[in-house]
Structures are given as structure tokens and as C-alpha cells.
Amino acid sequence: MACEFPTINENFDEIKKIFEDVKTIAFPGLSPKEDKDSHRVAKYLQEQGYKIIPIYPKEDTILGERVYRSLSEVKQRVDMVDMFRKSEVALEIVKEIEKRDDVKVLWLQKGIINNTAAKKAKALGLRVVQNRCTMVDHKSINSQ
């Protein structure tokens, strides 16, 4: 599936602005396994000064942070949701975001595309990125 719904994928200035504006990132699908992409990406962003919030069905802590079972359980402010789940789950995540008033960005990681979820998130006023890696983009922006 292609990114049929217009997102900010190709607007590098907007992606750079996201990293400047965001302070706290929730990670649905953040694995406790160090060899998983979700773990490496979250750890990298944590090391860059971002507050990470792991969302995973088990574990008590990941990367030294309390683990939540869903975005709905998170009481603290969340600026961005960086999703590492199957694309079919994206609409469910957007429905959780819809109940909050703090999330400004939905980022679907490399290989994750859900145009329906992207369209709904955009209608909610979110900035939407699909099929891109936050770590790769952050490194690229900071090497310029």
C-alpha cells in the first residue's frame, strides 16, 4: 500500500519542526527486546533528550520508564505518538488520540501505512507522518 493520503512525509522543514516542538513521545509497540527496531529508536530518542512513554502489553519498565498498556492510561502530556504496531491498529490508536487534547503528531514508523487513520488524524488537526523512521529522520536533520 502506498501513502495515498497527503502527509508531511516529503516536507523536511515540517519534519524538522516536529522534532523542535515535541518533548514527550508515546511509543505503542515499544519492545523490551534490545534488538528490536522499536527499542533502538526509542532509546536513541531518549538519549537525545525526549521523554519516552512505552506502551506495551507486558513489562513494568522499559528503558527505565513506566510501561502503560494503552495510550488511554497515560495521564501525562503526550506531544507525539510514534507507532510501532501493525498498520491495522493505527485507526484504534487514532481513536485513543481523539479522546485526548494534547497529542499533536501521529508518526507511523517505516513500513506502516494506514491512509484511513492518517486522514482521520489529519481531520483532528494532527500532523501526520507515515512510513518513515523517527531515528533516521532525526539523525538526518541533525547532520545538516
**What structural domains and CATH numbers belong to the chain?**
12-142 (3.40.50.720)
pLDDT of residue 11: 75
What's residue 8's pLDDT? Answer: 63
User: Is residue 80 within a helix (H) or strand (E), and if so which, with residue range?
Assistant: strand 80-83
Give the model confidence (pLDDT) of 1-13 as tens digits: 454 555 666 678 8
Q: Scanning the structure block, which residue is given the C-alpha cell 494503552?
A: 70
Strand partners, 73: none
> CB-hemisphere CA count at 13 Å for 11?
11
Global pTM value? 0.94
Residue segments in the chain with a per-residue pLDDT below the cut of 50: 1, 3
At 107, phi and psi to the nearest 5? -120, 115
Q: What integer pLDDT is reported at residue 20 of this predicted model?
A: 96
For 72, phi and psi rounded to 5 degrees?
Answer: -60, -30
